[in-house]
């Protein structure tokens, strides 16, 4: 089988790439972006290619911390479905952690987040626990985080727009909240989004506030509700992300091999492993260790170069 090796770095030395092509017996070098990303095509078993590349880097003393490498079958590399995690993948932040910081409890919530994202805690239980700590928070805080903290990951616009222009269907699936997923999906032109839904109660009207975490819930004059501290079931976790991939494939009449999935945390792993090109993007250690492909250094444009764009 013919395989394609995509090399991506801030600066790729052309002479070094030519030497690698010679060592691997590649059919020349095809530059996708001069000095940044290129393809080498080889006739090898995948594990042989990976071993030979590592030997080459070691021999030439090339730091692996500077180059991302994707190895995959050359046939069918352009995918018909993009299914992407949102937080720390399509956007740069974790919205729940940012909400926690707004009200001075980031350290408490972020510790739970880190363990859940690395697969050390049950995702659903960890989500419910963290959201419970936000009970009584004004609904207006959601928009404040959207305005002040939510920023697109470099390369996100290019990734979605290029794939859509070439006929791919783009889906955003998030273990975060629908408030943010709906807006991010609209900003980038995703065809579909799925996320968890926070329960919002009517504005606080006085009297005792049962068990609220914050002393100043929204007033009637603010026109906004308050967070109840609960997630409306069902919770969207790893099984739901995999289900979203399979459901989209059935609707589009394609196979999982024709999909590109990208994410960074443990609840993304099932969809990453099911996709033809499943990429752990700047991911947690446990996810990087298990995913078939990973991008540790480049931005999201790497997913376009991996498809030969």
Q: What is the pTM of this model?
A: 0.90
pLDDT score recorded for residue 3: 93
| pLDDT value for 204 | 58
* pLDDT (tens digit per residue) in 2-29: 999 999 999 999 999 999 999 999 998 9
Predicted pLDDT of residue 214 = 46
pLDDT digits (tens, 9 = 90+) for 49-80: 888 888 898 888 887 668 999 999 999 999 99
Structure tokens at 72: 């995959």
Per residue in 221-246, pLDDT tens?
344 799 999 999 999 999 999 999 99
Q: How many whole angstroms separate alpha carbon 12 and alpha carbon 239?
A: 39
Comparing C-alpha atoms, which of 123, 122, 99, 120 is closest to residue 110?
A: 99
Between CA 157 and CA 140 the distance in angstroms is: 27
Distance of CA 155 to the CA centre of its chain: 12
> Residue holding tokens 């459901």?
247
- What the block records as the tokens of 152 is 């697109």
In degrees rounded to 5, what are phi and psi of residue 146? -60, -45
Task: Give the span between the Cα atoms of 110 and 93, in whole angstroms.
Answer: 12
* Residue 167 CB neighbours (<10 A): 8
Give the pLDDT confidence score for residue 215 in this predicted structure: 41
pLDDT tens digits along 261-290: 999 999 999 999 999 999 999 999 999 999
Answer yes or no: is pLDDT of 183 > 90: yes
Query: Tell me: the pLDDT tens digits for 94-108?
Result: 999 999 998 888 888
> Which CATH fold topology does 1-75 show?
Alpha-Beta Plaits (3.30.70)
């Amino acid at each position: 089988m013919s395989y394609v090796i995509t090399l991506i770095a801030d600066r790729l030395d052309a002479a070094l790439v030519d030497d690698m092509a010679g060592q691997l017996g590649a059919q020349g070098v095809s530059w996708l972006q001069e000095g940044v990303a290129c393809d080498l095509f080889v006739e090898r078993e995948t594990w042989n290619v990976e071993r030979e590349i590592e030997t080459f880097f070691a021999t030439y003393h090339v730091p692996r911390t500077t180059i991302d490498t994707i190895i995959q079958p050359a046939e069918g590399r352009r995918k018909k479905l993009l299914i992407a995690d949102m937080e720390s993948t399509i956007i740069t932040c974790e919205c729940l952690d940012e909400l926690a910081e707004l009200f001075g409890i980031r350290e408490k919530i972020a510790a739970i987040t880190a363990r859940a994202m690395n697969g050390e805690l049950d995702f659903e239980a960890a989500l419910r626990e963290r959201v419970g700590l936000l009970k009584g928070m004004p609904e207006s805080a959601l928009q404040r985080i959207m305005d002040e903290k939510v920023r697109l990951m470099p390369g996100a616009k290019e990734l979605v727009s290029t794939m859509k222009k070439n006929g791919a269907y783009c889906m955003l699936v998030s273990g975060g909240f629908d408030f943010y997923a709906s807006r991010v999906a609209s900003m980038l032109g995703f065809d579909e989004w799925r996320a968890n839904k926070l329960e919002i109660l009517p504005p606080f009207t006085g009297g005792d506030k049962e068990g609220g975490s914050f002393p100043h819930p929204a007033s009637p004059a603010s026109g906004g509700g308050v967070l109840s501290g609960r997630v409306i079931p069902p919770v969207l976790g790893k099984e739901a992300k995999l289900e979203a991939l399979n459901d989209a494939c059935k609707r589009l009449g394609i196979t999982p091999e024709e999909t590109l999935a990208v994410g960074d945390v443990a609840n993304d792993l099932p969809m990453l492993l099911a996709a033809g090109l499943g990429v752990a993007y700047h991911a947690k250690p446990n996810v990087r260790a298990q995913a078939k492909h990973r991008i540790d250094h480049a931005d999201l444009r790497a997913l376009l170069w991996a498809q030969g764009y």
